[in-house]
Amino acid sequence: MIAAMLLAFSVMPAVVFAQNVPPPPPTGLSASLLQSGQIYVTWSAPVSQTTIVGYYVYRDGVQIASTPGFLFYTDNAPAGTHVYTVTAYDQNGSVSQQATPTTPITVLQDTAPTAPTGLTLVPSSSSVALSWSPATDNIQVIGYYIYRNGVKVITPDTISGTTFTDVGLAPGYTYTYVVGAYNAQGYITRSAPITVQTIFDITPPSAPQYLKATAVSPNEIDLTWNPSYDTVAVVGYNIYRDGTLVVSVNNTSTAYQDVSLSPGTTYTYAVAGVDEVGNISQQSIPVSGTTFPPDITPPSIPSNLTYTAPSTSEIDLAWKSSTDNVAVAGYYVYRDGNQIGSTQVPSYVDTGLATATTYTYAVKAYDTSNNISPQQSIAATTPLVNPIAPVAPIAFPVVPSSTGSVPYTPPTAPNNPSPSPVPITTGTGLRFNFTTLLYVGMRGVAVSNLQGVMIAQGYLAPQYATGYFGLLTQRAVQAFQCAKGIVCSGSPFTNGYGLVGVRTRAALNAL
């Protein structure tokens, strides 16, 4: 039986126990010196590895840190020249080879900064303004500490500049100040102490003079006055209405707008100056103002409403400004009965419209009490094609002569049009077969034929038979339409004025 067991064991397959394979080393290792004197080391993880859980950081061959998953480390290195490398370790504890070391990087020995100089103090009754010349350091000055009577002043933020105002002080007290500069290593160098006394201010400002109250609407009175004066500084004003404090204005502005008043009501005002320690002056001589009566009068109707269509998708409106007994605040603009916008100027641009489409526009004026005027309306049509921009006239030169400078005279155009229209002739005379819509901007033989007819009928000069339907050709068509009783006013896409449509083609073909 033992022999059988040994035989069975001998024929079992061999089991191979795999060893842990270490991860590849990190890549892209670099080190840089920060202004604080620290060294910032960074690297990249191996691209194909997902089992890495951390890294070991080495300075000059000695492990100094372990970073679980981070790809950077900030080292407070001692002064000297250092070389860094990194290894990766996985969840099984296997450690990679070291990454390619960084180039040597040098850290200077940080010394104490110089002492701030030129400290000056400007006192008021409740504060002291400090300023000084900046300190220097062989690496970097991080900031400054302020010491008042030997105790560091707690500030919400680091003082990195060279000014500071210490507030909340008592008037008439003596304070001693020192400014200390510090660097990244914690070295602090203090300035020489300077003592100052805050101002003991018990004198109120002078009373404001020449208070004026001006009603500007049914709900607003505007106040203006000449400023108060103080032994230290005026910091604001108290505004009184009918003997009651309305507001304390914490600035030196000498104007105030009192709004949300009742229409047709008289109010009495006074103003007092306030200094920085809260001394209040006597009140000014009171003055009264009366708001306008209720505004129930709407503005006048916007007049002379006109439009232009600079493109196939835009209508530009313009009108004459409305007037109002108080003030016109703006205009409401409507398209086909729906408000599409408002404007404070007498014009409006409406875009995104459909081509060759007629819209009805209306404009209403409104005032500061939102009284609304009656509307002015107009029908406006976008063109089928974009209008052609007018060509600027040619400035002919002045040609000198023996008798003086004379204007240049352009040569006379030939009598024969070019190109010549191609008529279709019959036994009864000139006849054309116009079958397509013709309008400004088109080119071709049909336009040349149209121009030939207009020249023959006396509506177009011969030199303008160019084959291009321009503004002069449009005017010739308009003159022809009016002479034939088709239409005498309007626009091409409202009633066909200046457009070779069905009725105009019939008149042309009947010639």
- Residue 1 within a domain: no
- Residue 203 within a domain: no
pLDDT at position 461, please? 85
* Mean pLDDT value of segment 305-312: 90
- Residue 295 within a domain: no
Residues 144 and 69 in one domain: no
- Residue 404 within a domain: no
Q: Measured between alpha carbons, how far is 196 from 165 in angstroms, rounded to an integer?
A: 13
pLDDT at position 3, please? 53
Say which amino acid occupies 177. Answer: Y
* Mean pLDDT value of segment 288-317: 93
Complete DSSP assignment for 88-121? EEETT--BPPPPPPPPPEEE----PPPPPEEEEE
Identify the domain boundary among 58, 75, 107.
107
pLDDT band at 199 (very low <50, low <70, confident <90, very high): confident
Contacts of 287 (CB under 8 A, 6+ apart): 211, 212, 213, 268, 269, 270
pLDDT at 402 over 80: no
pLDDT band at 492 (very low <50, low <70, confident <90, very high): confident
Percent of the chain past pLDDT 90, that is, above it, reads: 56
- Residue 72 within a domain: yes
* Mean pLDDT value of segment 491-508: 87
pLDDT at 205 over 70: yes
Total-model pTM? 0.40
Q: Measured between alpha carbons, how far is 205 from 209 in angstroms, rounded to an integer?
A: 12
Residues 164 and 230 in one domain: no
pLDDT at 50 over 80: no
Q: Which of 217, 283, 193 is nearest to 244 (CA)?
A: 283
pLDDT at position 465, please? 82
Q: Tokens in use for 150?
A: 């030997």
pLDDT at position 432, please? 72
**Worst-scoring range by mean pLDDT, 13-22, 35-44, 114-123?**
13-22
- Residue 22 within a domain: no
pLDDT at position 48, please? 66
More confident residue, 384 or 222: 222
- φ and ψ at residue 251, rounded to 5 degrees: -155, 175
* Mean pLDDT value of segment 91-115: 90
Q: What is the pLDDT of residues 330-378, one digit of tens each?
A: 999 999 999 999 999 999 999 999 999 999 999 999 998 899 999 999 9
pLDDT at position 386, please? 74
Number of domains in the chain: 5
Q: What is the pLDDT of residues 255-287, one digit of tens each?
A: 999 998 999 999 999 999 999 888 999 999 999
| 338: containing domain | 303-381
Q: Measured between alpha carbons, how far is 51 from 326 in angstroms, rounded to an integer?
A: 79
Cα 172 to its chain centre, rounded Å, is 49
What is the SS3 assignment for 355? coil
pLDDT band at 99 (very low <50, low <70, confident <90, very high): very high
Q: What is the pLDDT of residues 144-195, one digit of tens each?
A: 999 999 999 999 889 999 999 999 998 889 999 999 999 988 899 999 999 9
**Worst-scoring range by mean pLDDT, 2-11, 243-252, 298-307, 447-456?**
2-11
Q: Where residue 224 sits, what CATH number does that domain have? A: 2.60.40.10
Q: Measured between alpha carbons, how far is 318 from 305 in angstroms, rounded to an integer?
A: 6
pLDDT band at 75 (very low <50, low <70, confident <90, very high): very high
Identify the domain boundary among 290, 316, 347.
290
Average pLDDT, the chain: 86
Identify the domain boundary among 257, 290, 323.
290
Q: Measured between alpha carbons, how far is 445 from 498 in angstroms, rounded to an integer?
A: 19
Residues 422 and 481 in one domain: yes
* Mean pLDDT value of segment 305-311: 91
More confident residue, 224 or 326: 224
- Residue 14 within a domain: no
- Residue 437 within a domain: yes
Residues 326-348, buried b or exposed e (16+ Cβ, 10 A)? bebbbbbbbbeeeeeeeeeebeb
**Worst-scoring range by mean pLDDT, 40-49, 91-100, 392-401?**
392-401
**Worst-scoring range by mean pLDDT, 135-139, 329-333, 432-436?**
432-436
Q: Where residue 445 sits, what CATH number does that domain have? A: 1.10.101.10
